[in-house]
Amino acid sequence: MTADVSHDVVAITGASGRIGRRIVPLLDRPGRTLRLVDTDLPDRVQDGPWGEVSDRVELRRASIEDERGIRSVLDGADAVVHLAAQSSERPWEEILRANIDGTQKVLEAARLGGATRVFLASSVHAVGFADVAEVASTPVLVPRPDTFYGVSKAAVEALGSVYADRYGLSIVSARICAYGDGEPNLRHGIAHWLSAGDAARLVEAALALDDGRHHIVWGVSANSPGVCNLSAGRAIGFEPQDDAYAIVRARGLEPEAPPTSGPIGGTFTEPEHPLGERW
Q: Are 120 and 172 in contact (CB under 8 A)?
A: yes
Q: Are 243 and 226 in contact (CB under 8 A)?
A: no
Q: For the whole model, what pTM was predicted?
A: 0.95
Three-class SS state of 187: coil
Name every residue whose Cβ is closer than 8 Å to that of residue 230 and which is 6 or more positions away in sequence.
217, 218, 220, 222, 238, 240
Cα angle for residues 89, 90, 92 (degrees, 5° grid): 115
Question: Half-sphere exposure of residue 234, counting CA atoms within 13 Å on the CB side?
Answer: 10
User: In 10 A of CB 33, how many CB atoms?
Assistant: 18
Any bridge partners for residue 171, and if so which?
A: 118, 214
Any bridge partners for residue 8, and if so which?
A: 32
Q: Which of 258, 268, 239 is nearest to 190 (CA)?
A: 258
pLDDT at residue 257, as a whole number = 87
Domain 8-269 has CATH 3.40.50.720: yes
pLDDT at residue 229, as a whole number = 96
Cα dihedral sign, 261-265-266-269: negative
pLDDT at residue 2, as a whole number = 62
pLDDT at residue 56, as a whole number = 95
Q: 97 φ, ψ to 5°?
A: -65, -45
pLDDT in tens, 237-259: 999 999 999 999 998 988 888 88
Give dist(CA 261, CA 56) in Å, integer.
47
245 a catalytic residue: no
The 10 Å CB-count burial string (b at 16+, else e) for 147-180 is bbbbbbbbbbbbbbbebbeeeebbbbbbbbbbbb
pLDDT at residue 189, as a whole number = 81
Cα angle for residues 258, 150, 219 (degrees, 5° grid): 50
Q: 73 φ, ψ to 5°?
A: -80, -20
Q: 191 φ, ψ to 5°?
A: -70, -20
Three-class SS state of 48: coil
pLDDT at residue 138, as a whole number = 96
Which member of 149, 163, 179, 245 is catalytic?
A: 149
Tens digits of pLDDT across the chain (279 residues): 666 555 799 999 999 999 999 999 999 999 999 999 999 999 999 999 999 999 999 999 999 999 999 999 999 999 999 999 999 999 999 999 999 999 999 999 999 999 999 999 999 999 999 999 999 999 999 999 999 999 999 999 999 999 999 999 999 999 999 998 777 876 668 999 999 999 999 999 999 999 999 999 999 999 999 999 999 999 999 999 999 999 999 989 888 888 889 999 999 999 989 999 987
